[in-house]
Amino acid sequence: MNQECVSNTNVPDAKPVSETDAFTFGKSKAQSGKPVATTIQTATEFFSHKYKMDYPNRGKAIIINNKTFNPKTKLNERTGTDKDATALDNRLSELGFDVDLKNNLTADKIKATLQKAAELDHRDNDCFACAILSHGEDGFIWGIDRMIPINDLMEPFKGNKCLSLAGKPKIFFIQACRGTMFDDGVDMNVSDAKGFMDVEPQFFRQKIPSEADFLIAYSVVPGYYSWRNSTNGSWFVQALSDVLKKHGQTMDLLTMMTHVNQIVGKKFQKQKEKKQIPCVTSMLTKEVYFTSK
């Protein structure tokens, strides 16, 4: 019999480049030299299905709004983006974030801005949020001078690097194209009839994945254009602003993003019936509720 069929041991699909010691969950190796989060949670908070959102502050939010680009890039001005930036500034402020709006940043300044944010002390904050409004391609975002990999911007916030945000939500909203394809949509037949569709234990250490607790909400799926109205702003941010305004303090974040997908996918339509659907990548391990402070 194939040994893999009966084995009860967890093994990687590929051998790591450098192997590390494995510890029993809930225990740690003394003097291991591994990074430890600076925020302490009770066992009840750690195992809750909701993130702890009652720290003294909601947290820092950064909005990067790139409208005009260096001539050598040959990129058009992003008319309507100021409408997006203002809407997100208002919505995030209403949710209690300390919002910092940055306009027309180079790639190096974008990276430096987020690196500086990751180096802040977030121990008294619920979470971190960032919105990037710019031109883009799949996996990249444009500074006003050149492209930068999106992963490079998120790297400083990983749990093993930004220890005061370990175990807390890191939320990124990205309004940018991810390719050059158009979504022509598909016709649906829709009928008029309604369808059916305790006592806390003593302190002990728990290990969490460094990549956990991120949510990245892209305005469009990979490979496609992301649409923006020169007067009203982008489809994605219009929908996001609307949902956050209506449900920001009562609905969990992933459910809100599903509502955003519905609005963008069904309400908006470009000339010649072009469509768009946002894409949410979630490594969240709990539900996010922006309960009022």
Catalytic residue numbers read: 135, 177
Q: Is 274 helix (H, G, I), strand (E, B) or coil?
A: strand
CB count within 10 Å of CB 231 equals 7
**Alpha carbon distances (Å) from 293 to 55, 60, 93, 162, 235:** 9, 15, 12, 24, 30
The CA distance from 136 to 81, in Å, is: 14
What number of CA atoms fall less than 13 Å from residue 132's CA on the CB side? 31
**Amino acid identity at 255:** T
Q: Is 48 helix (H, G, I), strand (E, B) or coil?
A: coil
Tell the burial category of 113 from Cβ atoms under 10 Å away from its Cβ (0-12, 13-18, 19+): middle
The CA distance from 106 to 38, in Å, is: 32
The CA distance from 200 to 210, in Å, is: 25
The CA distance from 43 to 30, in Å, is: 20
> Phi-psi category of 72—alpha, beta or left, where left has phi over 0 and alpha has psi -120 to 50?
alpha
Q: Is 170 helix (H, G, I), strand (E, B) or coil?
A: strand
State the Cα angle at 33 between 29 and 38, rounded to 5°: 95
User: Which residues are CB-contacts of 291 (< 8 A; sequence separation ≥ 6)?
Assistant: 53, 54, 249
